[in-house]
Each structure stands twice: as C-alpha cells, then as structure tokens.
Amino acid sequence: MEHIPIMLDEALHYLKVKKDGTYVDGTLGGGGHSEAILKRLSEGVLYAFDQDEEAIKRSRERLKEYSDNLVIIKDNFVNMRSHLKEHGVDGVDGILLDLGVSSFHFDDETRGFTYRSDVELDMRMDLSNPVDAKTILNTYEEKEIRRILFEYGEERFAPKIARTVVRRRETKPFETTHELVDAIKESLPQKVLSKKGHPAKKTFQALRIAVNDELGVLERTLEEALALLNPDGRLVIITFHSLEDRLVKRAFKNASTIDHPIEIPTMPETTPDYQLLHKKVVTPSDDEIARNHRSHSAKLRAIRKVPDFDEK
C-alpha cells in the first residue's frame, strides 16, 4: 500500500520548518508529512499523534532513522495540549493536521471504510472506540440516523435511507458494507442511481464522521491548537470536505480579525493576534490531482501567530 502525502510542498511552505523548532503532526497516518518535517530538523522535535496502533507501527518503522527527533503518541490530536505538557512543552512552532482518512484505512478493506468490497461495517479510527458503524445503524433511532446522514453527509435522501435502514434491521441487523449499500440503493430513485459516482459515498462519509466524532474533535482542537502556537508559529490544516473546511475557515477568520462595534467611529490601536498566510484557499495542482486522485477534494488553510514586534 503506497502512501502519498497530500499537498506536501504547500504544507511545508506554510509551516516554514526551523531546524531547531518544535512541531506537531496531529495525523501521523502513513508518515509522509512527518518524514518531510523530520528531514528538516536537526535539534528540533516532532510530536506525532495517531489513534491507530497499526498506523503507528507502520510509521515507526518508516521513520526509525529519525527516532532522536521524533516522539509518537497514541491518542487523538484533540488531546495534544495535555500530552505536550507532560513532555514539558507549552508552545510549538508549527502544527499540521491532515484530516483526510489515511490511505491505509481505505486500502485495508477489513476496516469497513470502503463501499467497494463486502466487509464488516466498522469505520473506527481507534479500535478501542465502543461505537462503530454497526452500532449506529442497528441501535440509533430513525431520526438520529436521518440527522447524521443529512448533516454529515449532506445526503438529501437521508429520510428515505434512514427509513429503509430501520425497516431492514428489524429483520436482520446490519453486519456488512454491502448490506448497507443495498439499503441505500433501494432508497434512491433510478435517476440518481444512474448518475456518475457511487450512491453510497455520502452515507459512508456521514457514518465515518459520526463514528469518530470528527467535526466535534476538530472544533475542540482548533482553539487549543491556536493557543499552543509560539510567536510566528504556524497552524496548517488540510481538509477534504466542506463541513471541515467551513469550521477551519470560520475559526481562522475569527482569530485573524477584531470585532469592531459599528457605533465606535475609530478603530482601536490593536491588531489581531493571528494572521492568515494566504488570501484564497489553497488547492492541489493539476499535476498532483493527476498523480493522486485522492487529493482532488483537498483544501489547505494556514495561519500564523503574530509576534509582538512583527517585522513587516
């Protein structure tokens, strides 16, 4: 299974890695981004987080030559601040979050992330998580399944799919991915089924987000990550769907602007603590998309903490 890091050059450009800096890769995954950061460190340290034991095992082997500069922590990046504090770290020079599902998870069909093979429904990043996709499909109320599909998958046929799921599970609980795919296909009109693209894509995305609480984790992490940055420290985030990108865009905008009451005629002599590093969202080049189709929906946003005496 080949791991190709998404938007690697762009991420490194905005991280502006210093050889003696302290960095966080919140999503170790296949280790591609981490390796590129480690190559630029001499005295610096990279703290890499991942929930998945198998991903950590693979990346530890890949990155063994950089072990003096690498600390791997098995946990969700939402807990990075407490773990860093345990290591005596109160501030960092850069944080990278690649929010895409690792190629390892998609390629390992036994994890149930893909609708292309008939395997057990799972979708957990962390296998110690008690809630998997089967739990949601077989035990949640119809209205909650409908909400998950509509909010996290932006699936306009969420009511019909949820209704079909609840009816089918009364006869036989859902166990495999293709049982869910069949329920989805039964719920969609023929004109939708005949369109390009897999009809189960939105539903599978929604379930994965719900199982792993991806949006809740991201929302809680954004404030923590911004607070961790040293002066001139950078936070770079790569998202893969509009729900994530919306959260990041809003958080970055709020951090880089100062609310100014309209009734006050003059602006206060203050500047925001953070500065956006680009005007428009950064997307993959045509060449990268051609080389790696999984990058096609990626969006990168970057922000820096402004030093007290910033050199313009």
List the pLDDT tens digit at each of the 312 positions of the chain. 456 899 999 999 999 999 999 999 999 999 999 999 999 999 999 999 999 888 899 999 999 999 999 999 999 999 999 999 999 999 999 999 999 775 555 555 666 678 788 889 999 988 888 999 999 999 999 999 999 999 999 999 999 999 999 999 999 999 999 999 999 999 999 998 888 889 999 999 999 999 999 999 999 999 999 999 999 999 999 999 999 999 999 999 999 998 655 555 555 557 899 999 999 999 999 999 999 988 999 999 999 999 986 654
The distance from CA 57 to its chain's CA centroid, rounded to whole angstroms, is: 20
- pLDDT tens sequence across 103-143: 555 555 666 678 788 889 999 988 888 999 999 999 999 99
pLDDT at 156: 94
Count of residues making up the chain: 312
Report how far residue 170's alpha carbon sits from residue 168's, in angstroms, rounded to the nearest whole number.
5
Q: Provide the token pair at 306.
A: 């402004």
How many angstroms separate the CA atoms of 287 and 230, rounded? 34
pLDDT in the model for residue 112: 63
**Backbone phi, psi, residue 194, to 5°:** -85, -5
Q: Is residue 53 within 8 Å of 28, Cβ to Cβ?
A: no
Determine the pLDDT at residue 1: 47
Check residue 126 and give its pLDDT.
Answer: 84
Enumerate domains of the chain plus CATH numbers: 8-104+214-305 (3.40.50.150), 113-212 (1.10.150.170)
